[in-house]
Structure 1
Amino acid sequence: MLDWKEALERASTFLADRSRSWASSNVRIVPEDCFIEAHRFIAPYDRIEFLDHGDRDSQLAGNLPISVDLTTGDCVFITWQDAEGFMDRGLL
């Protein structure tokens, strides 16, 4: 079972790998917005220009957080259905 720190590292590596081909690849996990739901670590992310400098024009919209399976360490982007459920409960 991964702990918080290990899950955050897995999510960060996954995001770095996936974002290399994106037009806006200057992104970072937002640790203070991460949470654990059942067996998953959920890791929202955004562009660094927004996170560090408050540049609202740089803020991402429609990006799905990363889910890290705490048992296997596998990473995927959450589904829209997952996102809606988390938003309904005030987690995202």
Structure 2
Amino acid sequence: MINKEEAVKLAAEFLAADLDALPVEERIPVRVIPEKSYIDESHLIIMYNSVEFIEGNASQGIVGTLPIRVDMKTKECEFISLKEYFDYKKRGVIL
């Protein structure tokens, strides 16, 4: 099983790959937020947002982002579904 630091790196790589699928003119700088992450059993749940938002410009936040889940056993990454988001939120996992 990988550690949290390795899982955060995988999440960042997953997010970058997802952005690479967008046309260049639609891309904005984004970053995962390790401070807004949680380990649930063998999964890292981590939020992300625009770099400008993370650096303090609240008006530049991306609305509606669903967290990334990294399976710390298999190293698989995926965006969680809206249903999963609310299930995690009920359990106090989503920050």
Same-fold status (TM-score > 0.5): yes
CA contact (8 A) 1:34 1:44 kept: yes
Do structure 1's residue 82 and structure 2's residue 79 form an aligned pair?
A: no
Long gaps (5+) in structure 1: none
Paired residue type of 1:80: L
Do structure 1's residue 46 and structure 2's residue 49 form an aligned pair?
A: yes
Greater Cα shift, 71-80 or 24-33: 24-33
SS of residue matched to 1:32: strand
Do structure 1's residue 66 and structure 2's residue 81 form an aligned pair?
A: no
Q: Between the two proteins, what is the percent identity of the paired residues? A: 33
TM-score (norm 1): 0.89
CA RMSD of aligned residues (A): 1.4
Query: Match for residue 34 of structure 2?
Result: 31
Query: Match for residue 13 of structure 2?
Result: 13
Cα offsets for 1:60-88 (capped at 9, x unmatched)? 11111111111100100011111112222
CA contact (8 A) 1:24 1:47 kept: no
Long gaps (5+) in structure 2: none
User: Cα distance, 1:89 vs. partner?
Assistant: 3.2
Higher strand residue share: 2
TM-score (norm 2): 0.86
- Measure the CA separation in 1 of the matches of 2:73 and 2:90: 26
Length, aligned pairs only: 91
Paired residue type of 2:10: R
SS of residue matched to 2:2: coil
